């Protein structure tokens, strides 16, 4: 049979033919794709004609079509539904793909052609997008080592291949250890506090593992588990927290500490080879931040007030815990079942007590809200409805099209009476073969040059209920769905000529901006009223509950900001080390403790959102020295939200401006220039400070 990747897909929107793809197809497709692009690159490099935009840059953009098709499909498969074949293939392919990328960026013949174009750029008749592509490509080649001598290029190739293998090993070790550390519960009394839906999901997770008569709490990627807010049993809460914190640091085959140290050392060496003092300097030179000093300026401004707010919140928790221990029923439910001494409140207890404080102060029980957040209703009447109101999009499920997993759902996206936009794929549920967290991937990258429409997928990790039961989302999961769909909108609505600029191919510290803006709509009153409907009674969420929810949203920002900043600053601490400093570090835990103490974020009850040995963003996920991006983008996000609030909110007019000047641009122009075009000025930091209670 013909390999399904060797020719363009004949399915609508060029959706990969997942029903035909087998594990035997992956490696031959990669082999063919690599061979094809090598031949194409050789033809560009040896072209005797004078370099032109068409025969050099445009030719580069057209190259590698087979490789692009198989890479998009494979890496979604490997992250969302891995198996022994894909795991082995990832390890085999990592150094080969790194070598292939270097073959392009370090080829002196191609570099000379690009440099020639860049020197003559003012004499070339280029569109604005073409000129920006030329400037970005040249800058990326320089940062990738194109100007190095042959000896340094060979050293760089070796470092890149080693790093690609190590980061792949880190990802696989983390997934395996996360699965191994799932908490098995056999006494139902330990699960008191969980809703019927949460119990059902835990039972389903146990059933899928062949553990009848048990319940399984599968770990999530962040340190804090969502169930910690509901579990009444402090001993079980501590078991879950201990399991989460111990990932990658228990010894044995899945221990990630040596991987972390080796990755940090190699990145530091590579940075110096490329002419930078450290890895963070190399990374930020290619982002809107520009330098680690700029990143440190923002994070440092936030760290001290965030730590103060977290300490004040801890005092609130201890006060309530002390009242309950004294038997005054301060939590309002008369449950004195037994938590530890208030003075000894642990990290595993924070979320549970925070819910008690939230309930007492704002009369809000977020667990009750799950009954109003049935997943399909949230999707259609919330997420999709907002996109319809803002951008005129319509979504129709295509049950005739097969997604990357049997549980994945495919939706056709149209506008203006049926004009095609692309395909949206949602893979909602968690499974042992899916890595933790939530993310968006392109399955087909939009490009006018290649005549390709966009196909994007959102992966989440929502616990799957038993058959016949509704999928009820937590408030955090609703937020995540809106957030990830913001990335999907970026991928769907960008309209660019060149694949290098497609969708979310923007500076990394800008990429979170559209997704964070999209979170705004989940609590927009008219939208919330449309989708927050009780899954049994059909009643809409009471307005007084909505008002309490909105009023309580700022509560807990001290904790949330501190746990995030701890990880962002830890990421910077690892990646601002010189090679000599990196070589001198031999204790991951000690380094973490010293780094957090140095910025005042070493509160025992507020561990980092991600600790080093399970920090997938920075050691496997492409956010190395870039985890600051979320708060950096949030400056723009909070400022943009203020604009929407002042300019019509959930309206086609407001959405049209945002789409035309930001989403639609993809990566085809400088993102800060695009923001100024949208906003009329640079973003102000004050809205962010107000939002997070740091003003």
Which residues are catalytically annotated? 484
Using an 8 Å Cβ cutoff, are 17 and 5 in contact? no
Q: Facing residues of 415 across strands?
A: 393, 419
Q: Who contacts 237 (Cβ-Cβ below 8 Å, separation ≥6)?
A: 228, 231, 348, 349, 352
The DSSP line for 637-652 is: HHHHHHHHHHTTSS-H
Using an 8 Å Cβ cutoff, are 376 and 471 in contact? yes
Tokens found for residue 439: 């993310």
CA atoms of 357 and 617, how far apart (whole Å): 32
CA atoms of 182 and 224, how far apart (whole Å): 14
Burial bucket for residue 393 (CB in 10 Å: 0-12, 13-18, 19+) = buried
Tokens found for residue 4: 């399904």
State residue 215 phi and psi, 5-degree precision.
-130, 145
- Across the chain, which distance is largest between two alpha carbons, in Å? 87
Tokens found for residue 230: 């509901």
CA atoms of 282 and 278, how far apart (whole Å): 7
Q: What number of other Cβ atoms are within 10 A of residue 681's Cβ?
A: 9
Question: Sign of dihedral through CA atoms 15, 21, 25, 27?
Answer: positive
Round to the nearest angstrom and report the end-to-end CA distance of the chain: 64
Strand bridging mode 455-462 / 439-444:
antiparallel
CA atoms of 544 and 199, how far apart (whole Å): 28
CA distances in angstroms from 560 to 112, 195, 366, 373, 655, listed in the order given: 49, 24, 16, 23, 29
The secondary element (H helix, E strand) that includes residue 632 is helix 629-646
CA distances in angstroms from 440 to 103, 255, 451, 489, listed in the order given: 28, 28, 22, 10
Helical residues (DSSP H) of 411-542, grouped into ranges: 475-493, 512-518, 525-531
Using an 8 Å Cβ cutoff, are 624 and 571 in contact? yes
Length of the chain in terms of residues written = 695
Using an 8 Å Cβ cutoff, are 445 and 452 in contact? yes
CA atoms of 450 and 92, how far apart (whole Å): 30
- Collapsed DSSP state (helix, strand, coil) of residue 662: coil
Q: Facing residues of 409 across strands?
A: 426
Q: Who contacts 275 (Cβ-Cβ below 8 Å, separation ≥6)?
A: none
Tokens found for residue 131: 């000129």
């Amino acid at each position: 049979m013909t390999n399904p990747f060797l020719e363009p897909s004949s399915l609508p929107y060029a959706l990969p033919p997942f029903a035909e793809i087998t594990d035997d197809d992956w490696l031959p497709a990669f082999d063919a794709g690599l061979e094809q692009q090598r031949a194409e690159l050789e033809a560009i490099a040896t072209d005797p004609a004078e370099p032109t935009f068409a025969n050099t840059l445009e030719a580069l953009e057209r190259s590698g079509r087979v490789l692009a098709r198989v890479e998009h499909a494979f890496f979604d498969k490997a992250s969302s539904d891995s198996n022994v074949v894909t795991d082995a293939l990832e390890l085999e392919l990592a150094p080969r793909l790194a070598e292939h990328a270097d073959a392009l960026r370090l080829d002196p013949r191609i570099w000379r052609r690009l440099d020639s174009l860049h020197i003559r750029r003012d004499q070339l008749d280029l569109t604005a997008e073409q000129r920006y592509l030329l400037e970005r490509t040249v800058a990326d080649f320089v940062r990738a080592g194109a100007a190095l001598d042959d000896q340094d290029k060979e050293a760089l190739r070796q470092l890149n291949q080693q790093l690609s293998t190590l980061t792949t090993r880190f990802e696989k070790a983390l997934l395996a250890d996360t699965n191994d550390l799932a908490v098995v519960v056999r006494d139902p009394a330990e699960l008191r506090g969980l809703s019927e839906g949460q119990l059902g999901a835990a039972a389903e997770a146990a059933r899928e593992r062949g553990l009848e008569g048990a319940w399984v709490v599968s770990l999530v990627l962040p340190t804090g588990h969502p169930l910690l807010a509901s579990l009444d049993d402090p001993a079980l809460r501590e078991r879950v927290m201990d399991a989460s914190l111990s990932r990658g640091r228990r010894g044995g085959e899945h221990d990630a500490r040596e991987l972390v140290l080796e990755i940090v050392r190699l990145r530091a060496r590579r940075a110096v080879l490329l002419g930078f003092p450290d890895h963070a300097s190399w990374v930020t030179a290619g982002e809107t931040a520009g330098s680690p000093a700029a990143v440190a300026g923002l994070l440092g401004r936030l760290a001290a007030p965030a730590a103060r707010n977290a300490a004040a919140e801890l005092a609130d928790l201890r006060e309530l815990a002390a009242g309950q221990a004294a038997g005054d029923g301060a939590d309002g439910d008369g449950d004195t079942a037994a938590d530890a001494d208030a003075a000894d409140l642990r990290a595993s207890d924070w979320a549970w007590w925070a819910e008690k404080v939230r309930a007492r102060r704002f009369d809000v029980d977020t667990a009750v809200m799950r009954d109003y957040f049935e997943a399909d209703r949230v999707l259609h009447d919330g997420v999709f409805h907002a996109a319809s109101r803002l951008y005129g999009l319509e979504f129709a499920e295509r049950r005739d099209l097969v997604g990357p997993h049997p549980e994945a759902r495919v939706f056709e996206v149209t506008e203006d009476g049926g004009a095609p936009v692309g395909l949206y794929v949602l893979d909602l549920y968690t499974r042992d073969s899916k890595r933790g967290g939530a993310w968006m991937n392109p399955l087909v990258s939009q490009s006018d040059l290649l005549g390709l429409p966009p196909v994007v997928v959102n992966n989440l990790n929502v616990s799957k209920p038993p058959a016949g039961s509704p999928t009820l989302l937590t408030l955090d999961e609703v937020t995540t769905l809106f957030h990830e769909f913001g990335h999907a909108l970026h991928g769907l609505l960008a309209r660019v000529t060149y694949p290098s600029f497609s969708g979310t191919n923007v500076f990394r510290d800008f990429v979170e901006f559209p997704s964070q803006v999209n979170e705004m709509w989940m609590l927009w009153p008219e939208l919330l009223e449309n989708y927050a409907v009780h899954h049994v009674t059909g009643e809409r969420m009471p307005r007084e509950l909505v008002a309490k929810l909105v009023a309580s949203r700022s509560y807990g920002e001290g904790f949330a900001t501190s746990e995030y900043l701890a990880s962002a600053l830890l990421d910077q601490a690892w990646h601002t080390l010189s090679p000599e400093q990196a070589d001198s570090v031999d204790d991951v835990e000690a380094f973490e403790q010293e780094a957090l103490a140095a910025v005042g974020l070493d509160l025992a009850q507020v561990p980092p959102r991600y600790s080093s040995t399970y920090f997938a963003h920075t050691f496997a996920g492409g956010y190395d020295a870039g985890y600051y991006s979320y708060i950096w983008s949030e400056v723009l996000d909070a400022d943009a939200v203020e604009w929407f609030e002042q300019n019509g909110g959930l309206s086609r007019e407001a959405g049209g401006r945002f789409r035309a000047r930001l989403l639609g641009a993809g990566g085809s122009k400088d993102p800060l220039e695009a923001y100024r075009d949208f906003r009329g000025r640079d973003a102000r930091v004050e809205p962010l400070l107000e939002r997070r209670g740091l003003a």
